[in-house]
Structures are given as structure tokens and as C-alpha cells.
């Protein structure tokens, strides 16, 4: 009893502190964002920022519908190396080989679209909108679905407020970017190291609904896979023969193969049907079938495009939060390919 009496005030103190915290949380405005990121960060400083990005992306996609894929991929390759800090856009110098020039980035594209956006933004709101945010907004705009969720086709609201990094290293790109020959365990580890879950892995891989690949990225799957198998045994045999006919040589860097034949400019869930039929382009795509959770999601998204598109927005927001620089960290680059 004496012990109870002794403990009572402390318990009351704890309880009342908890109640105070809860009351303060209830009274606080709902902050729709994360660690310095918010939806509509440029509302006051550059109200037209998102509209300008949308306009330039729409014009580029109108001229060439295949532009959506590289825009989406750029944001991913940015976020996986040093976080979403625009480091993928920096040019190499005499003293430094930048991410851009790392092997996994040789087929990145659409840098000209990002530069065109930056030029427009700099003339409207000088030194205000970061290159990292331009990548995030452009990626969101690349995956629009007219008539879906919102009237402008956005699948999700993009958080902004990132600032640009000053470092870009080709070596780091080679270390941190997933490889098309990665198996499921490696992929899970790579995503986990960025704070991303198995679900994020399964959902974000659905970006391979868009775009193309080049023969070197699948060459090993088609010929001399291992000592025991000429072809990757996880790849459908008839599909492998078709791909082999298209890719005559492993050094062929000009032939482009649609990730999803016939639908590589439409952002939808057909990727998952291909994966389920063991016709995913990469070993890393097929790897999704090697884990109970990711396999379950492949089948779920295959039968419900709605749930894929909904989850894709959530996972893109998660990816856009990876190791961001906010507040007074980093800088707002004047030119995306050059540190200030
Ligand atoms: C899960 C691990 C991933 C691996 C191993 C991987 C690997 C690759 C490879 C090898 C290519 C083709 C490169 C070429 O031959 O030109 C590619 C293309 C592409 N990737 Fe991924 N990727 C992964 C995840 C992602 C994610 C998370 C996204 C975006 C959210 C993404 C978006 C794309 C797009 C859109 C393309 C087509 C690009 C184009 O047509 O220009 N990928 N990926």
C-alpha cells in the first residue's frame, strides 16, 4: 500500500503528461508531410511551380510519349543514391565522375526535359525550386492517369521542400542502385537500407509498366546464364527465345525492347500479369515471385489495377522521402547539372 501511495503521484504525472501531449496533438494543425517536406511547399514562394512542371512534362510527352518512363526512372535513381537530392543530375568534372556517368545510369534519359523545366522556373521564381523537387514532381506527372483519382489525373499528391545536394559519385551509384540480376533477398536488403518495405519493392517495381530496356541489361539472362543453364530458368522459355531473336548480341545497345510489349507508354498493371507468367524483363522482376508477400502482391495487382495505382502513390511518396535535405541543408541549384 505504501508503495502504491508512493507511485501514485508519478503515475498521475505520467498520465497527465500523456493527456497534455494528446491534447496538443489534437489541437495542432494536421501537417501533411514528412521531415520538412509538405504538400504545396511552393504555394507562397512560387505558386505556379507545379503547373510549370506539368506543362513542360505534358508538352514533352505530347511530342514523344516514351518520355514518361525516363522521367519516372530519374527520380528513383536519384533517391537511391544519397537520397532524393538531385545528385543524379550533376555533371562529372575533371576531378569527379558523377552518378550520371556510372554504368547503371548510362541509359538514363530526359535530362533535357528537367533542364527545360528548371529554365522556366528560374525565370519565374529564381533560386526557389530545387532540382530534387523538379524530379519528384515530374515523376508524379509522368505517371498520371487521366480520369483516375483526381481530375488532373494525379495518382498522388507530391510532397516538396527538398533541397539539392552538392555531391555526386559514380561509385556510390554502382553500389546502391539495384541490379537487374538481383534476387529477392538482395532487393529486400537494398530497399530496406533506404527505409522501404517489401510492399514498396513490389509496388515500385510496377514502374516497369513503362518504357524500354536495352539488350545488355538482359543479355546474361538469355545466354551463358550459369554453368548449368544457358538461359535463366526463371524466364519463360518461349519468351526467352523471342527476346534472343530480338537481341542478337549482348553488346547491342541500340535495340530497344518494350518492358510490356504493346503497352509501354500506358501506366497500368499489365506488368504484374507478365511477371506472373514469368515474362518479366529482369531477373529482379521475376524475383517478386520468390517471397510470399511480394508474390501475393503480384497476384493482387494483376487482378486489381485500382489497388496497384492506389498503392503506387503511397510508395512513391515513401521513396520521395529517402534521406532528403530540407530546411537549411544543401542548396537550390541554379542549373541542375552544376553545383552552385
Ligand atoms: C527493383 C529494382 C529495379 C531494378 C533492378 C531496375 C532495373 C532497371 C533496368 C536494368 C532498366 C533498363 C535499363 C536499360 O536497359 O536501358 C530499367 C528501366 C526502367 N526502370 Fe527500373 N529497376 C528497378 C526499380 C525501378 C523503380 C523503383 C522504378 C521507378 C519507380 C523504375 C523505373 C524504371 C523505368 C520507368 C524504366 C524504363 C526507362 C526507359 O524506358 O527509359 N525501376 N530498370
329 in catalytic set: no
Question: What is the average per-residue pLDDT within 157-178?
Answer: 98
Does the beta carbon of 72 lie inside 6 Å of ligand 1?
yes
Element spanning 293, H or E: helix 292-303
Tell me if 27 is assigned to some domain.
no
Element spanning 169, H or E: none
Tell me if 34 is assigned to some domain.
no
Q: How far is the CA of 173 from the centre of ligand 1 (A)?
A: 14
Tell me if 9 is assigned to some domain.
no
Predicted confidence (pLDDT) per residue in 3-46, tens digit: 443 444 455 444 444 444 444 444 443 445 678 999 999 999 99
DSSP code at position 163: B
Tell me if 176 is assigned to some domain.
yes
Mutation choice for ligand 1 from 105, 111, 158, 211, CB with most ligand atoms inside 8 A: 211
Tell me if 337 is assigned to some domain.
no
β-strands 37-39, 33-34: how paired? antiparallel
For the chain, what is the domain count? 1
Tell me if 253 is assigned to some domain.
no
Q: 85 a known binding residue?
A: yes
pLDDT at 171: 98
Element spanning 256, H or E: strand 256-258
Cell digits of residue 254: 541500340
Q: 87 a known binding residue?
A: yes
Predicted confidence (pLDDT) per residue in 76-96, tens digit: 999 999 999 999 999 999 999
Nearest residue CA, atom 27 of ligand 1?
204
pTM of the model: 0.90
**Catalytic one among 32, 77, 229, 283?**
77
CATH number assigned to the domain comprising residue 118: 1.10.520.10
Predicted confidence (pLDDT) per residue in 313-332, tens digit: 999 999 999 999 999 999 99
**DSSP per-residue string spanning 132-167:** HHHHHHHHHHHT--TTSSSTT--SSPPEE--BB-S-
CA 212, CA 56: separation in Å to the nearest integer? 22
Tell me if 248 is assigned to some domain.
no
Does the beta carbon of 144 lie inside 6 Å of ligand 1?
no
Tell me if 20 is assigned to some domain.
no
Q: 283 a known binding residue?
A: no
Half-sphere CA count of 131, side-chain side, radius 13 A: 31
Domain that holds residue 159: 39-211+259-320
Amino acid at each position: 500500500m505504501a508503495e502504491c501511495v508512493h507511485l501514485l503521484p508519478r503515475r498521475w504525472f505520467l498520465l497527465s503528461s500523456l493527456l497534455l501531449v494528446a491534447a496538443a496533438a489534437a489541437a495542432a494543425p494536421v501537417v501533411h508531410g514528412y521531415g520538412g517536406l509538405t504538400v504545396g511547399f511552393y504555394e507562397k514562394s512560387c505558386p505556379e511551380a507545379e503547373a510549370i512542371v506539368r506543362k513542360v512534362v505534358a508538352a514533352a510527352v505530347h511530342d514523344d510519349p516514351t518520355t514518361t518512363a525516363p522521367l519516372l526512372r530519374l527520380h528513383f535513381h536519384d533517391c537511391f543514391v544519397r537520397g532524393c537530392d538531385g545528385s543524379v543530375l550533376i555533371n562529372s568534372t575533371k576531378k569527379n565522375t558523377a552518378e550520371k556517368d556510372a554504368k547503371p545510369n548510362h541509359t538514363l534519359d530526359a535530362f533535357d526535359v528537367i533542364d527545360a523545366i528548371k529554365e522556366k522556373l528560374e525565370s519565374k521564381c529564381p533560386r526557389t525550386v530545387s532540382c530534387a523537387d523538379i524530379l519528384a514532381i515530374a515523376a508524379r506527372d509522368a505517371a498520371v492517369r487521366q480520369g483516375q483519382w483526381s481530375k488532373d489525373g494525379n495518382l498522388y499528391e507530391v510532397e516538396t521542400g527538398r533541397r539539392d545536394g552538392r555531391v555526386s559519385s559514380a561509385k556510390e551509384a554502382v553500389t546502391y542502385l539495384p541490379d537487374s540480376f538481383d534476387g529477392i533477398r538482395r532487393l529486400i536488403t537494398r530497399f530496406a537500407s533506404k527505409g522501404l518495405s517489401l510492399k514498396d519493392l513490389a509496388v515500385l517495381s510496377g514502374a516497369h509498366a513503362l518504357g524500354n530496356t536495352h539488350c545488355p541489361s538482359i543479355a546474361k539472362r538469355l545466354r551463358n546464364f550459369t554453368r548449368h543453364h544457358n538461359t535463366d530458368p526463371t524466364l519463360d522459355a518461349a519468351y526467352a527465345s523471342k527476346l534472343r531473336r530480338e537481341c542478337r548480341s549482348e553488346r547491342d545497345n541500340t535495340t530497344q525492347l518494350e518492358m510490356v510489349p504493346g503497352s509501354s507508354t500506358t501506366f497500368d498493371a499489365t506488368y504484374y500479369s507478365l511477371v506472373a507468367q514469368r515474362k518479366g524483363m529482369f531477373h529482379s522482376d521475376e524475383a517478386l515471385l520468390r517471397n510470399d508477400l511480394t508474390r501475393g502482391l503480384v497476384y493482387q495487382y494483376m487482378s486489381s489495377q485500382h489497388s496497384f495505382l492506389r498503392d503506387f502513390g503511397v510508395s512513391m511518396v515513401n521513396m520521395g522521402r529517402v534521406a532528403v535535405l530540407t530546411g537549411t541543408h544543401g542548396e537550390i541549384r541554379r542549373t541542375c547539372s552544376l553545383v552552385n
